[in-house]
Amino acid sequence: MNNAHVKTVQKPNTEQSVQQEPICQVVLHNDDANTVAHVIHCLQIVFAYDISMAAKIMLEAHERGKAIAEVEGKTAALEHRDQLRSYGLSVTVEQIVE
């Protein structure tokens, strides 16, 4: 067999070529501007939560001043923050430090 036409291909180092997106939490803050029903409805629309989960998050924000609505990749967290803000809710995104 003639090796003149054999080409060696190196695999990329997967540890260097794959970068994970930072994980963030979407934080819902209590406010005096929105009704309970409105906050629950917005959480259901944006995150597709059932009424029980949406109410639990809303109640925690009401009682403690803030609640974690979701933990997800940074891109999705920023999109969800913007969606919730478009409904008038007070929301921030915090990166989780590993």
pTM attached to this predicted model: 0.80
Detail the DSSP E strand segments found in 1-98. 23-29, 66-73, 90-95
How far is CA 5 from each of CA 2, 10, 11, 19, rounded to the nearest angstrom?
Answer: 7, 16, 19, 35
pLDDT computed for residue 25 by the predictor: 98
Mean pLDDT of 69-74: 98
Whether pLDDT at 7 is above 80:
no
Q: Please state, in angstroms and as integers, the Cα–Cα distance from residue 23 to each residue in 11, 14, 41, 79, following that order.
A: 28, 20, 25, 14
In the 8-state DSSP scheme, what is residue 87?
A: T
Are residues 76 and 22 in contact, defined by beta-carbon separation less than 8 angstroms? no
CATH number, domain 21-95, options 3.30.1390.10, 3.40.50.300, 3.40.50.10800, 3.30.565.10: 3.30.1390.10
